[in-house]
Every structure is written in C-alpha cells, then in structure tokens.
Chain A
C-alpha cells in the first residue's frame, strides 16, 4: 500500500511481464518460526518500550539500494521517468531509444495500472521491454523493478529506462534504484505544475519540457514555466524539446551519453 494515497488496498495482483506476483505482504526469513525458548522471559511481564526508530519506507529503500548496486555492476545508466498521464513519456522514451540507436542500447520497464499498450508501442519500435501492470497500485516500487529487470537481458543494454505510472504524487516517494529521476512537463499542462506537485519536481534530477512543437497553440508561457521549474527543481538540468519533431533532442541525448560515461567511470 502506498503511503500517499493508500492505493493497492484492493488486493489486485501485480503482473510483471508474463508472471503474476502476489502483493508483497509475506514475511521474510529472519522473522520466521524462531521458537526460541524464552526461559529468561516471563510472558506475563508488564509494559516495555521497544525503540525501533525505523522508517516505514525502509524496505523499499533497502531494495532500491540493492537495485542500484546491481545496475552499477551491470554498467547500466538507469532513468526513472515520471510525469502526469499523457505528458508524452512513451513517445519521449521511444524517440530517445531510436536516436541513440546502436551507440547506447536502451531497454524499458513500463508501469501502468492496466493494458500493455505502452509496451506494445515500444516493442513495435524494436526496443526490449517488460510491462508491469500494477492493478490498483499507483506507483512502481523497488521490488517490482528487480523482478521486471530479471526478465531483460541486461548484459545487452547500456541504458535502462523505467517508465513509471502516470502520476505526480506517489512515485515521488519510491526510490527504484535509479541514477536519474526525470520528470516531464508538457506544454499543454500549464506552467504551474511544478508549484502544484513540489515533492515530485523537487526530487527530480532532470526536468524536461515536452511537446514543445505545440507551445504556441497551447499558449504556453515559457518564461513562467522555467521560472517555476527553477524555483522548485532548482538543482535539476532542464531541457526543452519535442520528441515528435526531434527539436531539442540532441542536447538531451548528449547529456545522456555523458551521464552513461560517468556511471561507467569514464
């Protein structure tokens, strides 16, 4: 269940590629049937306070770090692409993969509540892709990513792109083990999106203004949007592009190539 909106409480199964996984609520090895004798304990004893000081997000944080270490060992640059529904994540990823071509091989993990339409669109373009259908869950978590990544031939990839569920709220809280969190803001969405969803925009390493070819038609106030982005995502690299026309894509691809080299210690 997600801390922000409590989604996933309906008990739907998460489907990763061809497999269905039960929602992770089972216990792990270290807590199972240790029936230690408790001679030293009196079970009718009174109150005691257990200091735990543990984050409720601890499990995801640990799994995310494990993913990150594994991906680094595989020399992969991993992107977590987040945005509202309909900002153009799939087209952006497809065009990024196509333009990188053989120089950097891209694989994709796609998350959606239902349908594998996005995966199909990417697959048609010849990109290796695994679809996660989350059922009722509004975000991807680190455990889903490690299971999905196992279905890709990572040795044949240089960049792993995770297309998160279209949602600007809950995915902000789930580290997936990515190197870069990339948030998309399309020109049709309104310049104040960063102000409305600060946790997500604040957590992003890269902010991309998409559908730039429609800026005039949408009456997009570029200066205001950039000012808002600089305010909330002040540390993020900002790119303005149109995946459809290819305008502005070069700067983004050059950045990606540099980031990939950095991950590989070049």
Chain B
C-alpha cells in the first residue's frame, strides 16, 4: 500500500503473490487473512492472485534441477539424494494493480 500511495494511486485492485510449495504458507489461509486485513483500507475488495512456485532441488551429480515435494529428495535420474533446494520457499509480492 505504501508503494501504491507513492505511485499516486488511490486504490489497490489486485495483488499478486508468489508462494512456494515449501514456504509453509497455506494459500487458503492467506486468502482468508487477506480479506480481513484489506477491510477498510485502500485495498478493500482487492483480488488476491496467488502464483504457486513448484519446489525444485538441485542434483549435483546430474547438474540439473528436478521438481520435488519435500526437503530431501531422490533425483529421478540418478537416484542420488539431494537436499539442495533451489526453489519453493518463496513468499513474495510480485506486483500490485492500482488505480
């Protein structure tokens, strides 16, 4: 909202968040909280768009990424275990649509 105000906007219409599948953030809870915190602010009735970022691990043996659902995973190619998470912990504001 500070960014929106500094850009001379009076209303926030849409907020786009990027949430990683291993960020620990539950999109449904985020939506619920979003409505509550936006009430009576310049973001009242703004839409919340959540972009899910699938988690990915780095396999040092294959020198390649693979998608994963956990913190420790077997590489689908070489079956080595990797815990080097490259993506999936995001909790970011991508952009804000204002008027």
A-B complex is real: yes
A48-B9, A202-B71, A234-B81 known; A6-B33 Cβ under 8 A: yes
A4-B24, A27-B2, A47-B98 known; A232-B9 Cβ under 8 A: no
Find out whether the CB atom of B6 lies under 8 angstroms from the CB atom of A56.
no
Give the shortest distance, in Å, between A255 (CB) and chain B (any CB): 21
Q: Let me know if B99 is at the binding interface, CB within 8 A.
A: yes
Among B81, B90, B92, B98, the residue within 8 A (CB) of A231 is B81
Q: How far is the CA of A52 from the CA of B14 in the complex (A)?
A: 13
Q: Let me know if A57 is at the binding interface, CB within 8 A.
A: yes
When distances are taken between beta carbons in the complex, the residues of chain B under 8 Å from A50 are 3-4, 7, 9, 95-98
Q: Let me know if B41 is at the binding interface, CB within 8 A.
A: no
How many of chain B's residues touch chain A, expressed as a range? 20 to 34
Find out whether the CB atom of A232 lies under 8 angstroms from the CB atom of B99.
no
Interface string of A220-240 (1 = CB under 8 A from B): 000000000001101100000
When distances are taken between beta carbons in the complex, the residues of chain A under 8 Å from B95 are 49-53
Give the interface segment out of A38-46, A67-75, A130-138.
Answer: A38-46
Find out whether the CB atom of B93 lies under 8 angstroms from the CB atom of A52.
yes
Find out whether the CB atom of A47 lies under 8 angstroms from the CB atom of B13.
yes
Q: How far is the CA of A6 from the CA of B26 in the complex (A)?
A: 11
When distances are taken between beta carbons in the complex, the residues of chain B under 8 Å from A51 are 94-95
Find out whether the CB atom of B24 lies under 8 angstroms from the CB atom of A48.
no
Q: Let me know if A266 is at the binding interface, CB within 8 A.
A: no
A47-B13, A231-B72, A235-B83 known; A56-B93 Cβ under 8 A: yes
Q: Let me know if A199 is at the binding interface, CB within 8 A.
A: yes
When distances are taken between beta carbons in the complex, the residues of chain B under 8 Å from A124 are none
A residues within 8 Å of B by Cβ?
Answer: 3-4, 6, 27, 31, 34, 38, 41, 43, 45-57, 169, 172-173, 198-199, 202, 231-232, 234-235
Q: A52-B95, A231-B72 are in contact. List 11 more A-B contacts (CB 8 A).
A: A3-B25, A31-B6, A48-B97, A49-B97, A50-B9, A50-B96, A51-B95, A52-B3, A53-B95, A173-B24, A232-B83
